[in-house]
Structure 1
Amino acid sequence: MASQSPRLWPCPPGNSPRPLPTGPILFTMREIIDLKPHNMPVADSLNLDDLREYFSLFTLPDGKILGDLIDFSKRRPLLVMGELANPYRLCDIMAPDMPIIQVRIENICRTWADSLDSREVQPGIHHITMARLPGWWEMTHLTMVEPADLKRIVQWLDGPNPNNWLPKRIAEGTIRLEENYQLSPPDQEKLEWDGVTENVLQDIPPASGPSLDLSTIIVPIHTRMGCYNSRGRIVKCVHTPQTKFHEDLFRRGSSFKWSDILSFL
């Protein structure tokens, strides 16, 4: 992808949050710049300093490394699971320069919050939160921002209703670096529901990158209503896009309380 203005990035409300970056990028208010990844660390896990170094070594098209442009020493990792990884939306938020990379999550999944954001369209759009799902995996996005920007970015999800979304540190699941940006999640046919629990009938693919320290990563969580409860099942964003979820499922079920679907530090 050639450099382009973030205002040229598609952001159709009915399909929110897609499309999302399919490779590592540097978001700025003026342009989106492709980043070239470097060698995957050989360690089993990375701490915060290791992750900062990993981000700093991405290469720009002119050959410079990202660490020459951004001081990562004060930046913290933020998981951006939905619209917060969409460059057009980041432009609305007036976000700082942000490198965005893809990471793999395991035993946790992205799911729709049981709420509507009606700031732009009626009846509104749904944002993405997180829930546990043993055996599951999928790709999502990670960035590094300074604490003040992190707080402001997460607060954007609230709109006019403060404290619905809070920055949390999760205590379960795995977040890891991944070499295969096109890694697919389990198909719908690989899920089995016995009326009580949902099982993934497929093994998690072998790791291609180290896991990250969950205690250092901030995850935006919808803490007012939690996520949608589809007759006991978690709705996976990758299987049920925004419009389909809203038209076919929303308000036909109940909600899971946020603290019941995930544990936190």
Structure 2
Amino acid sequence: MLQELDAPLIADRRPILLQGELANPYRLQEMNMGPLPLLTVRLEGICRTWADGLDPRDAYPGIHHVTLARTPGWWERSHLGLASKEQLKLIREWLDNGVRSTWRPVKLGEGGVRFEHDSKLEPPSSSDVEWDGTNERVSIDAPPPTGPSISLDELLVVVHTRQGCYNHRGRLARCVHMHQRPFHEGLFRKGSSHRWNEILTLR
């Protein structure tokens, strides 16, 4: 199909984890992304969480983007795109929005990502996450895997490096537990963040 659309073939693409607005079909179309193969994956030991800060485009007061942070024992579904070199450039330029180095394409130094075939896979509930006053971890066992692991040597992720992720009194505000509007209206306050290099090990 890619060949029929005169688009770069799989051999000329790299896997990149898509979260937040990058997993929104409307947004991808607005960005003129072009053909982009998408696959469902499971995150392991890392979670999607709200980045600190607001993007003022499109809506008032703005949209919150999604970044990644560690949580031992965690799992959730996400999406992976097979992007061409031009699409990778487009993704970073759109996220930076004219402010260079706001977002950084990196390789994960912890956690895991695998293909996921269970469309009904549910993440841990908020009550399944234990907190000792410093660190959070999941207290229950993960469901059996349904697909093979993806090499972290090949996978790109884009993380927010201007600040990091939102700091909810020492804890994370995970996207699966709090959607964007409740997060903004009931929790978000500017200037409260975990530094990006403290919440995730990168290569």
State the Cα deviation string for residues 84-104 of structure 1 (Å, max 9, x = none).
121110111100201112100
Output the CA distance in 1 between the equivalents of 2:202 and 2:147. Answer: 24
Higher relative contact order (CA 8 A, sep 6+): 2
Q: How many residues align?
A: 200
The match for 2:21 is 83
Aligned counterpart, 2:194: 256
Partner of 1:152: 90
Runs of 4+ in 1 over 6 A off after TM superposition: none
Shift of 1:179: 1.1
| Kept after mapping to 1: 8 A contact 2:67/2:158 | yes
Report how far residue 154 of structure 1 moved.
2.4
Q: Is the CA contact 1:155–1:166 (under 8 Å) kept in the aligned structure 2?
A: no
Determine helix, strand or coil for the equivalent of 1:115: coil
Provide structure 1 residue ranges, at least 5 long, that are not aligned to the other structure: 1-65
Kept after mapping to 2: 8 A contact 1:111/1:237: yes
Deviation at 1:116, TM superposition (A): 0.3
Task: Confirm or deny: 8 A CA contact 1:230 1:253 kept in the other structure.
Answer: no
Structure 1 residue 211 displacement after superposition: 0.4
How far 1:189 moved relative to its partner?
1.7
CA distance in 2, matches of 1:135, 1:252: 29
When the two chains are superposed, the root-mean-square deviation of aligned CA atoms in Å is 1.5
| Number of the residue aligned with 2:140 | 202
Taking structure 1 as the reference length, the TM-score comes to 0.72
Alignment-derived partner of residue 11 in structure 2: 73
Q: Deviations over 1:179-199 (max 9, x none)?
A: 102200001121222212222
The letter of the residue matching 2:162 is: R
The answer to whether the aligner puts 1:109 opposite 2:80 as a matched pair is no
Say yes or no: does 1:130 pair with 2:72: no
Q: Which amino acid aligns with 1:259?
A: N
Tell me, yes or no, if the aligned pair for 2:47 and 2:71 is still in contact at 8 Å: yes
Which runs of no fewer than 5 residues in structure 2 stay unpaired? none
Partner of 2:79: 141
Counterpart for residue 131 of structure 2: 193
Aligned to 1:176: 114
* TM-score under structure 2 length normalisation: 0.93
- Give distance in 1, aligned partners of 2:33 and 2:10: 16
Q: Is the 8 A contact 2:52 2:191 kept in 1?
A: no
Alpha-carbon distance in structure 2 between the residues aligned to 1:258 and 1:192: 22
Distance of 2:194 and 2:117 partners within structure 1: 33
* Structure 1 equivalent of residue 183 of structure 2: 245
Give the C-alpha shift of residue 151 in structure 1: 1.8
Distance in structure 2 (CA, Å) of the matches to 1:72 and 1:135:
32
